[in-house]
Every structure is written in C-alpha cells, then in structure tokens.
Amino acid sequence: MTAALDADVIVVGAGMVGLTAALAMHQAGFNVLLLEQRALQPEQAVADVEAASQQGFDPRVSALTCASQQIFSALGAWPTMQALRVSPYTDMDVWDGQGTGQVQFSAAALHEPCLGHIVENRVTVAGLCQALELTGIRLLTEITISTMRQHAAGRTLVLDDGRELTAQLVVAADGAHSHIRQLAGLPMCEWDYGHHAIVTTVETERSHQTTAWQRFTEDGPLAFLPLNDGGVNQHSSIVWSTSPQHANALMALDDSAFCQVLGKAFEHRLGQVEATAERYAVPLRQRHAQYYIKPAFAVIGDAAHTIHPLAGQGVNLGLLDAAQLTEVVQQAKQRGEDIGSVTVLRRFQRVRQSENLKMTAAMEGFKQLFGQQNGWLGLLRNTGMHVFQRAPSVKNHLVLQAMGLRGALPELAKRPVKL
C-alpha cells in the first residue's frame, strides 16, 4: 500500500453485500476500510439478534442459494448464522393460480440435502459482523460522505466532518439509493414494476413441510417461505407482490381479515392462516446501472441492480458481484496491475453485468407471462408449466443454475471439490 493511502480498498455500506465484499477483500490480502452511515456495532450484533429472535422473526428474509452459503462459509460467517437461525428448504412448489400449471422441485431428486436456506437478513448481517470482528478490518460508522475526487493514486472520499479518506479502489455497496453511485455519475435504467410487496411472518394451521410455496395470482406472485421455528414448522415468511392499490387495501385490513384474505389467495394450501406479525409494504422497482465501473470505482449489490423478489435472487447476485470483484482485483494485484484501472475493473463488469442482466430479463419475462390473465399467453403459460414439470433433465439443469451450483461462478462461491 502507498504510504499516502488510508487503505487499498474502501467499501461503502455495511449491508449484506458490503460486509461480504470487505471480508473477501481482506481475505484476498487487501488493506480494507469499511464505511457505514448507520450506528452499527459489530461486537453487539450477535447478542442483539439473539435478543430480537426471542420476540419473533425478522420480516426481511432472503432465500440464499448454495453459492451464497459457500461464500459465507469461506468467509467464516456461516457457522454463526447457523447457530443463530437458518431455515433449510427441501422442496419448492410453484403453481399458476389462474390455471392448472404446477411445477415442483425437490432436493432429493438432485441428491442434495436442501435447495437453499431462508435466512433473516439480520442473521446474515450478524454472522458477517462476527466474522468482521475477528479480522481487524477498520470500520467507520455514522459517517456522511460529501464528495468524491478521482486522482492518479485512486479516489478520495471527503466526509462532512472534513476528514479525507483515500484508496486505490472505492467499492459502492450502499444499497438501491446509493449516494456514492450518484457522486460517481453512473447512469441508471430504472422503472416501476407496478407492484408493492407485502412482507410479514405468518402462522399456519399446517406444517410448511420445509417447502417454499409460490402461487402466481392474477395480481402477482405470493410466496410462503418456510421458517425454522424449532418445533412444528408452522411459521412462514410471506412476500405478496401485488398492485399498489391492492397492497394499500390489504395493509388497511385488521389482522384477522388479512389472515382470511391471505389464506384464500393461497388456496389454503397450509390450512388456515392463524396469525400474522406486523406487515410492511415495499414498492418494487427495477434498477440497473448502465456501467458498474469508473476509474478506481466499482458498484455492487443493490447499488448496481435491484430486481423483482419473485425468484429470490437479489442479494445472491450482489454476493456474487462482491466475490467476482475480489477475484479480479486479486489476480490483477498478483500480475502487478493497478487494481483501480479500468482495464482491470472491466473484467469484473463483463462477467457480472451480463449475468445480472440475464436474471433481470428472466424476472421481467416471468412477471409479464404471469401478468396475463387470459388469451394465448395464459394458455402458453399453463402448457409450458406442464411440459416443464414432465422434463426432469431441463428442470434439474435450471434449478441447479438457480441454486448457484452451475454457471459462471467466482472461486469463492464454488464448493470445494471432495477428494
């Protein structure tokens, strides 16, 4: 590291993706500085989650792929996450609420223990914070970045208290409304999905059978994601994507009426919905940065792209961004290249932008296909689901891809080969 620099790499944003990037860069031998605007206390994170877990589940959960699990294992976060609470799911059942199409996926058919894990976001952050604690990575919290300058040595961030922080590479992982992406002047393509997602935890009459359920309703997808309640498995996290008007009407219902309407929309697959925790409505917007890089600057995670949650891929893509960027700059360092050069950073952009755009296009296609209530598209959808269900090799290929066990993966996300 040049003496004048504060770090090789500054990561902005200590969410799931930023924490992962900081840990991966540290493991790759870089001197890392992590900046977060919130009052995050990594040493407290596990105890805080343990206390909060007594009260219930975090309404924000993510379906994590096997590739994401591998990244967390490689960075030392997974054991803490497991100890706190993760919910493996073994099956997935997807059906068309407006027809007869149905597709089922099963871990057993793939000789895998599970298809993935549903994990509360606060558990993931706590696992990563615990790993961070062991590394000595410097973390500055409650900071506000005012401006950013580019120069021959890299970039300098100027904080509102006048402090200046310089690194060879600045990584923006500060979420969908990324301030630093705006400071860098990276243009975005974005539009509304015309959906709001209602998220909460519900209790059902019957066990979820460690299955992730998704019904495509006339207004949008409704997912029941199984939660490990340590007992009868009657808790699920729901994500109900629907029109803003419908979402507002659902939010206005009292708990008992909401449970009834939800149970009906879900065709009572798990019996009655018996209780609900507090509900939150989140507007869904698709965003994609036209470029992920500038000299000495890269953008990853939600700061680079947000997609519809219907396939539960958002943070999984962000974690792969973090792992891929680390791999590219590590290789560049070994070759004696400047890690902030556009030539180097383009290697990251080439891989991740095309992978993320493929997933974005797939989500858009699903949303359009299932948004059609009748006509040829409805027929095509129904027939397609029947054909897909009866084609195990195609189905298994796609599900292995979605689980992060196939496709273009950075080394950190690959399972170690068993000898």
Ligand X SMILES: Cc1cc2nc3c(=O)[nH]c(=O)nc-3n(C[C@H](O)[C@H](O)[C@H](O)COP(=O)(O)OP(=O)(O)OC[C@H]3O[C@@H](n4cnc5c(N)ncnc54)[C@H](O)[C@@H]3O)c2cc1C
Residue 310, classed as helix, strand or coil, is: helix
CA 412, CA 180: separation in Å to the nearest integer?
Answer: 26
* Positive/negative CA dihedral, 409, 327, 80, 306: negative
Q: Closer CB to ligand X, residue 17 or residue 344?
A: 17
What Rg, from alpha-carbon coordinates, does the chain have? 22
Does residue number 301 form part of the binding site for ligand X (CB under 6 A)? Answer: yes
Does residue number 324 form part of the binding site for ligand X (CB under 6 A)? Answer: no
Distances (CA, A) of 80 to 19, 48, 120, 123, 126: 15, 13, 13, 8, 8
Q: Closer CB to ligand X, residue 13 or residue 263?
A: 13
Q: Closer CB to ligand X, residue 179 or residue 381?
A: 179
Does residue 22 contact residue 132 with C-beta atoms inside 8 Å?
yes
Question: Shortest Cβ distance from residue 184 to ligand X (Å)?
Answer: 12
Residue 319's identity, in one-letter code, is: L
Contacting residue, 91, 302, 327, 338, with ligand X by CB under 6 A: 302
Does residue 319 contact residue 19 with C-beta atoms inside 8 Å?
no
Write each residue from 38 to 57 as x if it is in contact with ligand X (CB under 6 A), else as -, in one continuous string: x-------------------
Question: Shortest Cβ distance from residue 140 to ligand X (Å)?
Answer: 9
Q: Closer CB to ligand X, residue 220 or residue 340?
A: 220
Does residue number 35 form part of the binding site for ligand X (CB under 6 A)? Answer: yes
Does residue number 174 form part of the binding site for ligand X (CB under 6 A)? Answer: yes
Question: Shortest Cβ distance from residue 383 to ligand X (Å)?
Answer: 28
Q: Closer CB to ligand X, residue 38 or residue 390?
A: 38
Does residue number 179 form part of the binding site for ligand X (CB under 6 A)? Answer: yes
Does residue 117 contact residue 63 with C-beta atoms inside 8 Å?
yes
CA dihedral 93, 287, 250, 252 (to 10 degrees): 150
Task: Give residue 48's Cα distance to chain centre.
Answer: 22
Pairing between strand 145-151 and 102-106?
unpaired
The residue number with the shortest CB distance to ligand X is: 15
Smallest Cα–Cα separation from 317: which of 83, 62, 115?
A: 62
* Span from 26-34, 150-158, 255-263, 314-322 in contact with ligand X (CB under 6 A): 314-322
Write each residue from 265 to 284 as x if it is in contact with ligand X (CB under 6 A), else as -, in one continuous string: -----------------x--
Pairing between strand 293-294 and 221-226?
unpaired
* Span from 77-85, 243-251, 315-323, 411-419 in contact with ligand X (CB under 6 A): 315-323
Residue 313's identity, in one-letter code, is: Q
Smallest Cα–Cα separation from 171: which of 290, 295, 291, 299?
A: 299
Contacting residue, 9, 173, 293, 320, with ligand X by CB under 6 A: 173
Write each residue from 188 to 227 as x if it is in contact with ligand X (CB under 6 A), else as -, in one continuous string: ---------x-x----------------------------
Question: Shortest Cβ distance from residue 311 to ligand X (Å)?
Answer: 8
CA 309, CA 12: separation in Å to the nearest integer?
Answer: 24
Binding region for ligand X (CB under 6 A): 12-18, 35-38, 62-63, 145, 173-175, 179, 197, 199, 239, 282, 301-302, 309, 312-316, 318
